[in-house]
Structure 1
């Protein structure tokens, strides 16, 4: 994130308006980057936008909160969050648990369940795919 903050102007961006976004394991990366930035007093991330995120790895060596953001204890400093869930996704419970944990810690959270959708739906041209992108764009533009 430090590199992004230092170079964002080269790409037409604003260092005061940085957001992270990812789907599936990319949602894991986005949540980890947001957590690292909050914990290390890094650049201020305005929002994390997670689409059917993998936030809990089940392998024994994945107990680190950066590999499993759901395990992070101190999450009250996380940025506002938009979670897009797919109703027919094996990861649907992970996103819901993460949203609840963030809300319990006082983080502003939007949670959107996309009915009938499966994992990976964002990559297809479903009406729900466009609706999900609209939710993320709305969150970023706030």
Structure 2
């Protein structure tokens, strides 16, 4: 009898308790340690303070699951952003299928077509993590947004993301009729490292002569790489090295994973678009930066270099917000969406 009870106990433990303990471990791993500095929060808008508290574990880039778990908390709110329709599809890419999500406004077309590349340090992120930004872009601008789930490092290091991004541009250009493109011109956009990809493919399209891109929207972009001279060129890299969501340490990890097999190309314009020797004739540019962001100075340096090359540029720094502020309910995020609408309406 005792042996029977013993085995029943072991069975119950194995079937019920072990999975619960495993789930608890995974949850704690996903939530992560809150490593923000409470003193820095006083510099931020109230909505941005709450965001920093929730997103501080982004500095740990070793767990993609952790990032996804945190980002997906925003998904229910994203679904409340009313638009016309969404469609998930896959297109042919250089190494297999590329997943896309096409967001359509409630209004009838034709539409501006925005090809959107999500941020996440080249190693995290996807269609779900940036669902809110895509929906708000559609709702605010009336454009149709094509969000791209490009290949991620370290499994697929540089240039995989760029190859997928450019392949998506070519697909969109060949499907202008079915996409109901307003003026047969495409717009590229992205945030953070997604803005890096947008800037790179804009240069690539110019070099190859196709497709035609009319405008680029760059939200707190990474335009150069993390390197020993980064702090000299861009003081914000050290000034906001930790405590504001994105950290100097995480940037170092991102680029090392992204360039795993191509460290000799770290200053290639396909990696660091600011390193291009010729920025003339690039698309009209919308570029915003955040005051408390290690990437702030290199984004603003890129805006200045574009202006010097004769490219029409709208550039604005938003105060009292950190990197990734477009995922917050701050006044800065709301104003940015309104400014993007005005930018798209300009001839």
Partner of 1:111: 315
Q: Confirm or deny that 1:72 pairs with 2:276.
A: yes
Q: Confirm or deny that 1:140 pairs with 2:308.
A: no
The 5 A counterparts of 1:23-102 are 23-58=191-226, 60=263, 61-102=265-306
Partner of 1:131: 335
**What's the CA shift for 1:96?**
0.8
> Whole-Å Cα distance in 2 between the matches of residues 96 and 133 of structure 1?
19
Q: Give the number of aligned pairs.
A: 142
- C-alpha deviations, 1:33-85, integer Å up to 9, x for none? 11111111012111111010001013643211011001011110111101011
**Mapped contact 1:75–1:105 kept (Cα < 8 A):** yes
Partner of 2:172: 4
Q: Which moved more, 1:1-10 or 1:69-78?
A: 1-10
SS state at 1:54 partner: coil
**Mapped contact 2:289–2:299 kept (Cα < 8 A):** yes
Name the Cα RMSD after superposition: 1.3
**What's the CA shift for 1:3?**
1.3
Structure 1: unaligned runs, 5 residues or longer: none
Q: Which moved more, 1:90-99 or 1:53-62?
A: 53-62
Structure 2: unaligned runs, 5 residues or longer: 1-168, 228-262
**Mapped contact 1:6–1:15 kept (Cα < 8 A):** no
The structure having more radius of gyration, on CA atoms, is 2
SS state at 2:181 partner: coil
> Whole-Å Cα distance in 2 between the matches of residues 67 and 10 of structure 1?
32
SS state at 1:14 partner: strand
Q: After the TM superposition, which parts of structure 1 deviate over 6 Å for at least 4 consecutive aligned residues?
A: none
| TM-score in terms of structure 1 length | 0.93
**Mapped contact 2:176–2:184 kept (Cα < 8 A):** no
> Whole-Å Cα distance in 2 between the matches of residues 112 and 9 of structure 1?
34
